[in-house]
Amino acid sequence: MKKIVISALSLLLLLGSCNKKVEEPNVLVIMCDQLNIQALSCYGGVVSTPNIDKLAAEGILFKNGICNYPVCSPSRGSFYLGQYPNEHGIIHNAMNVDYPSVEVPETEEAITNADPTFPKFLNQEGYSTHHYGKWHLTQERVNYFPDEYGEHLEYAVEMKEVFEKVKKQPRETYMNWYDWILPTKRSDKYEKAIELADESFKKRKYSEYVKNMGRLELPIEQNFDVRVADHAIQTISKSDDKPFCIIASFNYPHDPNVIPAKYYDMFDPDKIELPDNHLIYEEKFENDWSRTIVNNIGDDGVKEFLRIYYGSVKLVDDQVGRIMSALEEAGKKENTIVIFTADHGDMMGEHGMVWKSNSSFYNGVMKVPYIISYPKQIEPLVTDVPISLVDFAPTIMSLTNQSVPESMTGKDYSKWLLNPIKDNIPQEYVLCQRMDANKDRIRVKMGDDEMVGLALMNEEWKYVKYKKNEQEFLYHLSTDPDENVNLVNNPQYASGLQMMRDALKNKLEEVNFN
C-alpha cells in the first residue's frame, strides 16, 4: 500500500480552504406595479426599454412568468412569503398604513415582524436588508427594513409643502391620488373625451383618477419612483463587504396616470395603435371597472392612457439604468442576483379594458415580466418554462446558500437556473387565484368556499374556472396567444379540457387548497 504524505504547507492550505466562508451573493429586487409585458421591447413590446433589455440579455428571461393573484397586496404577499394567497390569507389590498386616506376596518391584517418573508430570513443570516418604494403590505413597520422609504409615511411627508401649495389652485388643475396632490394638465383631445363620458361615470368613487390623466406639472426629481431609485443607488454606493438585499419597488406604471413632460411628450397618441383584440371581449367582464373606463373614454381616451402608460415605462427603464450603473460602479454586479418583475399586469387596451380592475385571468393582468440575472452563476437564456412569483422566495433562499424554510410552498428553481435542462424543471403548471375577502380583512387560510376563480397554465394551455355558475375558459396559447377564442365548448378540445381540469385538481392539492 502506498503511503499518503501531506506536507505541512498542503495541510495548512487545505484547512484554510475548508474554513474559508463562501462569498454570499447580494440580492437586488426591482419591482414595478401593474406592468404588462407587452410594453417592454425585450418581450417584443412597443416601448423601447434598453436598460431592462440589457438586464434580460445578461440573464434569464421567462416568457411565461405569472403572478399568483392579479391584485397588488395578495400578489406581493406570495412573492415575499413564498406562499399562495389561499395560504397567507392576504387577499385584500393592505391600506391602513400605506394608504391612510382610505377607510378600512381597524382589524385589517397584513405583514408583521412575525411573518417568514425572505428578506427577514436573509437579515437573520447577516444580510443588510432595505426596502425603498411601494410595499403595500404594512400592518406594522418591520424591523429588518431600518431605513424604509414608502409612498406616504416618507414621500408624502417630504412633499407636504408642495402638495399644500398645489391644493390652493383650482380643483380641476390637480389630481388627489390617495392624498398625493398632483398638478396635472389634460390634453385638449382628452378633455373632449371626458366631456362625452356618462355623468354617472364622472361621479363614481375612483373616476377622478381617470378624468385627470395627463401631464404631471412637477420636476422629475420630485417624482416618487425617481426618489426610490435615489435611495437604492445611495445604499448600493455605500455598501461594504456585507451582503445586501435591496428592494427598489416602483409605483409606475400603476396609476396615478400622470407623467412628467419629458416622458409625456415622447409618445404621440395619434400614432398609437390599439391592440388587435381591443374589440374582442367577453360579456362576463362587461360591468367590470376596467371595461367601464374604456366604455366611457373611448378610443381617444385609451390612446391617451397608453401614451401615459408608455411614458411611465420609459421613466422606469431610466431608473433601472441608473440603479444598474451604480451596481456596476460599486463593483457588485458579478456577485449580485437581480430580479426585475411586477406584482401583476394591466389590460393596456386588450379585450376592451385598461387597468387591472376586472375579474379576468387574461395574460394582460396575469403575466408579469420575470428576469433573473446572476452573472457569476447564470448563463443568459430566453425560456418558455413557466414560473410564478410564489417561486421566487424559495429560489432566492437556495441561491444565497440558505436552506428553504418549510413555510414556503413555492417551487425552488435554483437547480434549473444553474443547469437549465428539462429534468431540472420543478413544475409543469403555474397557478393564479382570485378569492373572496372577508369584511374584516383578517388573514385566514382559504379554500373552495372562498374561491372566486382559478387559472392554471403552462406554455401551451390556459384553463380558467369560476365558482359562480361553474363558468370555464380554455385557451390554446400555442395557436391563440392573445386568448381570443374560448375553446371550452369545442368538442375537438375535449381531451385538452379534461387534462387541464385534472391538472388543476392536482395543483390545488399541492398548494393546500381545501
DSSP label at residue 152: I
Distances (CA, A) of 513 to 77, 84, 143, 504, 506: 17, 9, 31, 11, 10
pLDDT at 187: 97
pLDDT at 400: 98
Domain ranges of the chain: 21-163+222-434
pLDDT at 23: 83
Which one, of 218, 228, 138, 134, lies nearest residue 181 by Cα?
A: 218
pLDDT at 21: 52
Low-confidence ranges of the chain (pLDDT < 70): 1-22, 469
pLDDT at 22: 64
What number of CA atoms fall less than 13 Å from residue 158's CA on the CB side? 13
What are the tens digits of pLDDT across the range 434-484?
999 889 999 999 998 899 999 999 999 999 999 976 899 999 999 999 999
What's the residue count for the chain?
514
Q: Which amino acid, 503? A: A
Q: Which fold has domain 21-163+222-434?
A: Alkaline Phosphatase, subunit A (3.40.720)
Contact residues for 435 (Cβ-Cβ < 8 A; gap 6+)? 69, 74, 85, 86, 91, 446, 450, 451, 452
